[in-house]
C-alpha cells in the first residue's frame, strides 16, 4: 500500500498527547503542533490544543482505515501533524501510518503511554506485566493470558471493558482476581477504582485501563498455553486428538510466531487451537467436512481464547487451494482420500512441516508409503490409563496412534 500513497513533502509528525493536554506536552511536541498547517486527531484531542494555534483542524472520519490514504494524499505538500493518545506506537495511529507510508515518512513524538502511567500508579514493573489490547477486538482474546499470579493490563475501546473483563474472569473461575480501573491517567480528573472480579459492579469512565491481578478460585484448574490441554477443555463428539498425542503432535509441528497452520480434518479443532495459543501471532485454518463439527470448532476456539481461528467447512483437498500458503500442515483425518497428502505436501514451502496421525491399518499404509518416498520420522504412541478392575486397578490401553512428521527441504 505504501507505494500507492503520495506523502507530504516532509514527514508526517505524530504527536502523542496525554490527558494533561497542552500543558503536559514537551517543548519539541508543542513546536511541531504550532507550526502545523493541518492538524488531524479526534475531536477530544483537537480540543486540547489552544485556539491560538492557527492550523486547520480536521477530526478523524469514520471508518478511519479506509479514509486515511485519501487524507494523506489530499494534504500532500502541507505541514501535517497528527494528534494521538499517549504513545502513538502502542496500538495507535503511529503504527498505522508507518505501515502505510514507511518509517522514513513518519516522525513520532510520544508522550507517556497509558501502560507506563498505569504501571507507575500501581508500582508494577512494566517488563513483568502483560499488555492485552482489546481495542476493536473480541474479549475472548483475554483467555490465554488468564493464568494464576499473572498481572495484566487490558486496553479496551470504552468504559464497558472493565465489566466485560470481570465477567470473563468470574466465568473462568478467577472471581477472586483483583481488578483496578484507572481512568483519565495523567489528567486532572484521574481516578482509581478497585474491586474483585466476582463482585465488580462499578461504573467506569470512557478512557480507562483495566489492571488485573489473576487469582484462581479454589478448585480452578489452569489452562496453560503449553500443548496438551485436558480433553475436558473441549466440546467434542469423540473426534478429538487426545491430550498426550496432541502434545507430541504439536511439538513436532513446532509452532513459530507469525506462521500459518492448516489443520485438515480438524474434528474438535484442538490442534489449530493450541497452535494459536502458543503465541498471539500464530495463525491457523481448521478444515472440517462436517457442518456440525465446524460450528463446534468455532465455539471451542472462542472459549479457549483464539476467536480468530479460521474455520472452513468443506472437503479436503478441494478447499485447500483457497487457504493461503501454510508453514505447517496437520492431517488428522482423511489420509486415504485421493490426492490429500499430495496436495498438502505440494503446498508446503522449504522448511515447512507436515505431521499426520493414523489409527487404522489403511491410514498407516499411506504414511508408510510417504515415509519411504520423502523420509521423515514414524513414531507409534500407545497410552494406557489406570482404571478400576473390580476392587483393584488395571491398565486400559487406548488405540495406538502412528505419527509421521517430516520437514520439506
C-alpha cell at 219: 478448585
Length of the chain: 409
pLDDT at residue 72, as a whole number = 87
Tell whether omega for the bond before 396 is within 30 degrees of 0, i.e. cis.
no
Model-wide pTM > 0.85 = yes
Of all helices (H) and strands (E), which one includes residue 180?
A: strand 178-183
d(CA 191, CA 32): 30
Domain 231-408 has CATH 3.40.50.150: yes
d(CA 31, CA 151): 38
d(CA 49, CA 30): 9
pLDDT at residue 77, as a whole number = 87
* Alpha-carbon 398 to chain mean position: 34
Name the CATH topology of 12-111. Cobalt-precorrin-4 Transmethylase; domain 1 (3.40.1010)
d(CA 314, CA 323): 12
Tell me which residue has cell 504414511. 367
pLDDT at residue 9, as a whole number = 54
The edge-to-edge listing of strands for the beta sheet with 191-196 is 130-133, 151-155, 208-213, 178-183, 191-196
pLDDT at residue 5, as a whole number = 52
pLDDT at residue 3, as a whole number = 47
- Would the CA dihedral through 345, 351, 352, 358 be positive or negative? positive
The structural architecture, per CATH, of the domain 115-214 is 2-Layer Sandwich (3.30)
d(CA 137, CA 154): 12
d(CA 124, CA 115): 10
The edge-to-edge listing of strands for the beta sheet with 38-41 is 56-59, 38-41, 80-85, 12-17, 106-109
* Tens digits of pLDDT across the chain (409 residues): 444 455 455 789 999 999 999 999 999 999 999 999 999 999 999 999 999 999 999 999 888 888 888 888 898 889 999 999 999 999 889 999 999 999 999 999 999 999 999 999 999 999 999 999 998 899 999 999 999 999 999 999 888 999 999 999 999 999 999 999 999 999 888 999 999 999 999 888 878 999 999 999 999 999 999 999 999 999 999 999 999 999 999 999 999 999 999 999 999 999 999 999 999 999 999 999 999 999 999 999 999 999 999 999 999 999 999 999 999 999 999 999 999 999 999 999 999 999 999 999 999 999 999 999 999 999 999 999 999 999 999 999 999 999 999 999 9
- Non-local (6+) Cβ contacts of 234 within 8 A are 240, 268, 269, 270, 300, 304
pLDDT at residue 6, as a whole number = 54
d(CA 271, CA 254): 12
- In the chain, domain spans: 12-111, 115-214, 231-408
Amino acid at each position: 500500500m505504501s507505494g500507492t500513497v503520495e506523502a507530504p513533502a516532509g514527514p508526517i509528525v505524530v504527536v502523542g498527547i496525554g490527558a494533561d493536554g497542552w500543558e503536559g506536552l514537551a517543548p519539541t511536541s508543542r513546536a511541531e503542533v504550532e507550526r502545523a498547517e493541518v492538524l488531524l486527531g479526534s475531536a477530544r484531542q483537537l480540543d486540547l490544543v489552544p485556539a491560538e494555534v492557527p492550523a486547520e483542524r480536521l477530526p478523524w472520519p469514520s471508518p478511519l482505515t479506509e479514509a486515511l490514504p485519501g487524507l494523506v494524499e489530499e494534504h500532500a505538500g502541507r505541514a501535517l501533524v497528527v494528534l494521538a493518545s499517549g504513545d502513538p506506537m502502542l496500538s495507535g495511529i503511529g503504527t498505522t501510518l508507518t505501515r502505510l507510508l514507511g518509517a522514513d515518512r513518519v516522525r513520532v513524538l510520544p508522550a507517556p503511554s497509558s501502560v507506563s502511567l498505569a504501571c507507575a500508579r500501581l508500582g508494577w514493573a512494566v517488563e513483568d506485566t502483560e499488555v492485552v489490547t482489546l481495542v476493536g477486538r473480541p474479549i475472548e482474546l483475554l483467555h490465554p493470558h488468564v493464568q494464576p499470579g499473572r498481572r495484566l493490563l487490558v486496553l479496551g475501546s470504552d468504559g464497558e471493558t472493565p465489566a466485560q473483563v470481570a465477567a470473563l474472569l468470574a466465568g473462568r473461575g478467577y472471581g477472586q482476581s483483583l481488578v483496578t480501573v484507572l481512568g483519565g491517567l495523567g489528567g486532572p480528573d484521574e481516578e482509581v477504582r478497585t474491586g474483585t472480579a466476582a463482585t465488580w459492579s462499578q461504573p467506569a469512565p470512557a478512557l480507562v485501563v483495566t489492571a488485573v491481578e489473576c487469582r484462581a478460585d479454589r478448585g480452578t484448574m489452569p489452562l496453560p498455553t503449553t500443548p496438551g490441554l485436558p480433553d475436558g477443555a473441549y466440546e467434542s463428539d469423540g473426534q478429538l486428538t487426545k491430550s498426550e498425542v496432541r502434545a507430541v503432535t504439536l511439538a513436532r509441528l513446532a509452532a513459530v510466531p507469525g506462521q500459518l497452520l492448516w489443520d485438515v480434518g480438524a474434528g474438535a479443532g484442538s490442534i489449530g487451537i493450541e497452535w494459536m495459543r502458543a503465541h498471539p501471532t500464530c495463525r491457523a485454518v481448521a478444515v472440517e467436512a462436517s457442518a456440525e463439527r465446524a460450528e463446534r470448532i468455532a465455539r471451542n476456539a472462542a472459549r479457549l481464547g483464539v476467536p480468530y481461528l479460521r474455520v472452513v467447512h468443506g472437503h479436503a483437498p478441494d478447499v485447500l487451494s483457497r487457504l493461503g500458503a501454510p508453514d505447517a500442515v496437520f492431517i488428522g483425518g482423511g489420509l486415504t482420500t485421493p490426492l490429500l497428502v499430495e496436495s498438502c505436501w505440494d503446498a508446503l514451502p522449504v522448511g515447512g512441516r507436515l505431521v499426520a496421525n493414523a489409527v487404522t491399518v489403511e491410514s498407516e499404509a499411506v504414511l508408510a508409503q510417504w515415509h519411504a518416498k520423502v523420509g521423515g520420522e514414524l513414531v507409534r504412541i500407545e497410552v494406557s490409563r489406570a482404571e478400576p478392575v473390580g476392587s483393584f486397578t488395571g491398565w486400559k490401553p487406548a488405540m495406538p496412534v502412528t505419527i509421521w512428521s517430516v520437514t520439506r527441504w
